[in-house]
Structure 1
Amino acid sequence: MRLLHTSDWHLGQHFMGKTRQAEHQALIGWLLEQVEARQVDAVLIAGDLFDTGTPPSYARELYNQLVVSLHALRVPLLLLAGNHDSVATLNESRELLARLGATVITTAGADPADQLVLLPGRDGNPGCLVGAVPFIRPRDLLQSQAGQSGEDKQRSLQSAIQAHYAAVHEALVERQQELETSLGRRLPLVLTGHLTTVGASASESVREIYVGALEAFPTSAFPPADYIALGHIHRPQKVGGLELIRYSGSPLPLSFDEAGQQKEMLLVDLEAAGLAAVTPLPVPRFQGLAAIRGSLDSLAGPIGAAAALGSPERPTWLEVTVNGDDWLADLPARLEQLTAGWPVDILRIRRARGNEAARLAASPGLTLEELSPDEVFARRLAQEDLDEPQREALTGLYRHILAGMADPAPGP
């Protein structure tokens, strides 16, 4: 049995005012080619198919196109709702798409059996059993209680999610044993989830799921399975270094800090004995995207390298962080002149000093009231790329100013 594990497509996303429609259209074409070439038995999307609860019409069309095309290839689709997805939006076509081989799981229902999905292989015979757990909303499992502290809410939610996984796993094993008796062979077990686990590495485009409650679900709290397919984190990764617990990551970079990532989907090979192999499948880049940094004098080289990723018809999208010259009031105009003639489109300009100041202000657990003026100056100075003589000169000037403030000149 070969699954294609992917997640976090975010159909309908607008990237700083730019549509991703052409990229998603190309992604679907590429996926269908891979499904055929690599003899994939089923496709699993672990949440966040859409970017918003009210996706634009073209995003819904792409979704329908994916379902119909996979049906034509006789490859079933298992789709889980994520935190960006609207339960109502996915449910409105759920029964219709089921006729085309697409199983859509939107909520963690009261009956764990509702989340058991039997996926067939290409030969039509049962291939694996899936405990299809989507994004779990607190209201699906908990009732709010007055007087609970933040820690109490976090513990309650973690316990409720863990109990739900345990119930789904119990139903999964019971069904597995029934099928083993009738089939004469063991079916591998797969679990899914759309959440943050302990140790997962996120990016700036990942939205916090449980604000003020559950920060991350412990890896040890998952029940045993042959493979655990996760969504929500956009960076592809093993969890805790384990082969069998994986985030596939998003197939497209969804923020500039993902521009340097090699995006991928995962080919998951399962046998009766369990997991046989997980093979990363690199996803091509359908739109040039780059984050570059430097002074105005040093940006020509990085701009040229970024331009090579694009074309006049589809220019590379750029984030430019300027240091050294970031104080210039006409910085946007200078950058526009610098990129003239190159197939690039600057979507965001960042000033290094402003970013560093913001990071200083956002230091966790500290307020300005807790820092002395000397500590504030030392922290800010440490963020500058200066040689020792420059540091000493600035420190001397700082102390001279402080001394003048402490001992002002007498009045007339």
Structure 2
Amino acid sequence: MRILHTSDWHLGQHFMGKSRQAEHQALIDWLLSQIDAHAVDAVLIAGDVFDTGSPPSYARELYSHLVVKLHHAGVALLLLGGNHDSVATLGENRALLAVLDTTVVAAVGNPADHLVVLPQRDGQAGCIVCAVPFIRPRDVLQSQAGQSAQDKQQSLQAAIQAYYQGVHQAGLARQATLQQALGRSVPLIATGHLTTVGASSNESVREIYVGSLDAFPTAAFPPVDYIALGHIHKPQKVGGLEHIRYCGSPIPLGFDEAKQQKEVLLVDLDATGLAGITPLPVPRFQALISVSGNLATLPNAIAAAAAEGTAEQPAWLEVTVAEDDYLQDLPERINTMTQGLPVEVLRVRRQRTSAAAALASAANETLDELSPHDVFARRLAAEALAPELQQALEQRYRAIVQSITEGAA
């Protein structure tokens, strides 16, 4: 059996004033051609199907288009909820989508309800999936008064591990029953949408410090043939293990991802378990380029970036200015450099080269250049606090931001 593992599509993303609709439409068209060319039996999207809990109508339309096209191709689809996804939005059409060979697991529930048998194109059972979506703390844990940050981390880690074990035990029982009925081996795989120990992240990933759990230990995953992970946008093995993979996002979701080669994974399973994994590079559908330098060197850098754009589809630029970052009229100067070129500057950043320059230009800095965590960190740095108290406040702030984010979803 061959599964295409992908994640973190973020349909409906509004990126610095730009829609990603055209890119996602091109991605779907490309994906459908690859599914046919590589004889894929099933597609697995490991969370963050949408960018927000209330995606725009065009994002829902793209989602529906993907479901219908895969159904017509005879390819099963498994969708997992991520931290960006609204449980209600993702699960509202579960019964309808089931008729179209699409299974949606939006939130944590009874372990037995997380077992999905993915079929091959001929209808025969191909594998059993322990389909675990993003786990919110309230799904598996009740807060206790007086717990320290370390106690909360240990409790949450233990609760998530216990939940995986429960789903895994149910999966083993289902596997035994199915294998007896079919008279052959059926692989068992699992999913997850979380940060694991050793995973390399980037600024485009919304941190999901649940309680104070920074990362889930790799050793805490159950022993299965393959673990399909989502949330981290950079494709990678976890802990050097071949069978635990982040496929990464299929398009760059921030300028920090602009140089990454995006990919999806073709996962081959047979009676012995995992037979092989083949990365499938995803084409770049929109030029996304980050350039840096001073006012003397930037014109050449911008001209080189313009070679990747066209009049119909200009390259999107992030420009970081060094040395001359104290100047107040940087946006105007950059705009002059780009006149007549097939580029659009989406963000101008100042590279702080010295304390004096930083102080001189702090008043000119805009919120577009800062993340919420940057703002909080700078305010915290202005206070004379003990390191332990600073760390505790930072953890508390992340927990508050997370709770607000989940409430909005």
Q: TM-score range by the shorter chain?
A: 0.7 to 0.9
Please report how far the alpha carbon of residue 354 of structure 1 lies from its aligned counterpart in structure 2 after TM superposition. Answer: 7.2
Q: Distance in 1 between matches of 2:271 and 2:354?
A: 53
Partner of 1:153: 152
| Cross-structure match for 1:404 | none
Matching of residue 133 in structure 1 with residue 132 in structure 2: yes
Which is greater in Rg? 1
- Aligned partner letter, 1:18: K
Instruction: Provide the rounded CA distance (Å) in 2 between the counterparts of 1:316 and 1:71.
Output: 35
Specify the alignment match of 2:123 in structure 1. 124
In the aligned structure 2, how far is the partner of 1:309 from the partner of 1:184?
55
- 1:210 is displaced (CA, Å) by 2.4
Could you list the per-position Cα deviations for residues 225-266 of structure 1 after superposition, in whole angstroms to 9, with x for gaps in the alignment? 110000000011000011100000000111110000000000
Query: Higher relative CO (CA 8 A, sep ≥ 6), structure 1 or 2?
Result: 2
Aligned counterparts of 1:367 and 1:244: Cα–Cα separation in 2: 46
Partner of residue 196, structure 2 = 197
Secondary structure of residue in 2 paired with 1:180: helix
Contact 1:3 1:43 in 2 (8 A): yes
Q: Distance in 1 between matches of 2:385 and 2:67?
A: 57
Which amino acid in 2 is paired with 1:237? Q
1:38 maps to: 38
Instruction: Provide the rounded CA distance (Å) in 2 between the counterparts of 1:212 and 1:73.
Output: 42
Displacement of 1:366 in angstroms is: 7.5
Asked if the contact 2:137/2:211 (under 8 Å) is kept, the reply is: no
**Secondary structure class of the residue paired with 1:34:** helix
Partner in structure 1 of residue 336 of structure 2: 337
Deviation at 1:148, TM superposition (A): 1.8
How far off is 1:213 after superposition?
Answer: 1.5
Residues in 2 aligned to 1:355 and 1:31: alpha-carbon distance in whole angstroms: 47
Per-residue CA deviations over 1:170-227 (Å, capped at 9, x if unaligned) read 1111111111111111111110000000011111011111254110000000010110
Distance in 1, Cα, partners of 2:67 & 2:267: 20
1:346 matched to 2:345:
yes
Q: CA deviation at 1:337?
A: 0.8
Structural mapping, 1:153-232, within 5 Å: 153-232=152-231
Ranges in structure 1 where 5+ consecutive residues have no aligned partner: 372-412
Structure 1's consecutive aligned runs of 4 or more residues displaced over 2 angstroms after TM superposition are 354-359, 365-371
Structure 1: distance between partners of 2:20 and 2:101: 27
**Distance in 2 (alpha carbons) for counterparts of 1:58 and 1:204:** 26
Indicate how the Cα distance of structure 1 residues 354 and 345 shifts in structure 2: closer, same or farther if over 3 A, else same: farther
Give the letter aligned to residue 240 of structure 1. Answer: G
Alignment of 1:248-397 (within 5 A): 248-353=247-352, 369=384
State the one-letter code of the partner of 1:188.
Answer: P
Measured after TM superposition, the shift of residue 369 of structure 1 is 4.7
> Could you tell me how far apart the structure 1 residues matched to 2:206 and 2:286 are?
23
SS at match of 2:79: strand
Residue 367 of structure 1 deviates from its aligned partner by 7.1
In 2, the alpha carbon distance for the partners of 1:78 and 1:197 equals 22
The secondary structure found in structure 2 opposite 1:296 is: coil
Closer/same/farther in 2, CA of residues 354 and 72 from structure 1, 3 Å limit: farther
Post-superposition CA distance 1:140-179 (Å, at most 9, x none): 1112222222211111111010001001111111111111
> How many equivalent pairs are there?
369
Counterpart for residue 389 of structure 1? none
Paired residue for 2:21?
21
Match of 1:409 in 2: none
Determine if contact 1:289/1:306 at 8 Å carries over to the other structure: no
TM-score, normalization: structure 2?
0.87
1:362 and 1:63 mapped to 2: Cα distance? 37
What is the match of residue 58 of structure 1? Answer: 58
Q: Distance in 1 between matches of 2:353 and 2:175?
A: 57
- Inter-CA distance 367–203: structure 2 relative to 1 (3 Å threshold): same
Partner of 1:49: 49
Q: Which amino acid aligns with 1:51?
A: D
Return the TM-score normalized by structure 1: 0.86
The CA deviation string for residues 308-361 of structure 1, in whole angstroms up to 9 with x for no partner, is 2211111111000011221222211111111111100001101111798599x9
C-alpha distance in 2 between matches for 1:166 and 1:140:
15
The answer to whether the 8 A contact 1:287-1:316 is kept is: yes
Q: What is the letter of the counterpart of residue 90 of structure 1?
A: L
Counterpart in 1 of 2:76? 76
Q: Distance in 2 between matches of 1:321 and 1:168?
A: 47
Task: Supply the AA of the counterpart residue of 1:104.
Answer: V
User: Deviations along 1:249-293, whole A, 9 cap, x unmatched?
Assistant: 000111110000000000000111011111111111111100111
Q: CA deviation at 1:300?
A: 2.3
Offset at residue 301 of structure 1 (A): 2.4
User: Quick one: distance in 2 between partners of 1:240 and 1:366?
Assistant: 34
CA distance in structure 2 between the partners assigned to 1:355 and 1:341 by the alignment: 34
Partner of 2:235: 236
CA distance in 2: counterparts of 1:41 and 1:28, whole angstroms? 16
Do the aligned partners of residues 355 and 342 (structure 1) sit closer, same or farther apart at CA in structure 2, a change above 3 Å counting?
farther
Secondary structure at the residue paired with 1:197?
coil
Counterpart residue type for residue 118 of structure 1: V
Secondary structure in structure 1 of the residue aligned to 2:4: strand
| Structure 1 CA distance for aligned equivalents of residues 225 and 354 of structure 2 | 44
Structure 1: distance between partners of 2:29 and 2:304: 27
Q: What 5-or-longer segments of structure 2 have no aligned partner?
A: 359-369, 387-409
On the 8 A contact 1:228/1:244 being kept in 2, the answer is: yes
Q: For residue 296 of structure 2, give the secondary structure of its aligned residue in structure 1.
A: helix
Paired amino acid for 1:245: I
State the alpha-carbon separation in 2 of the partners of residues 170 and 104 from structure 1: 21
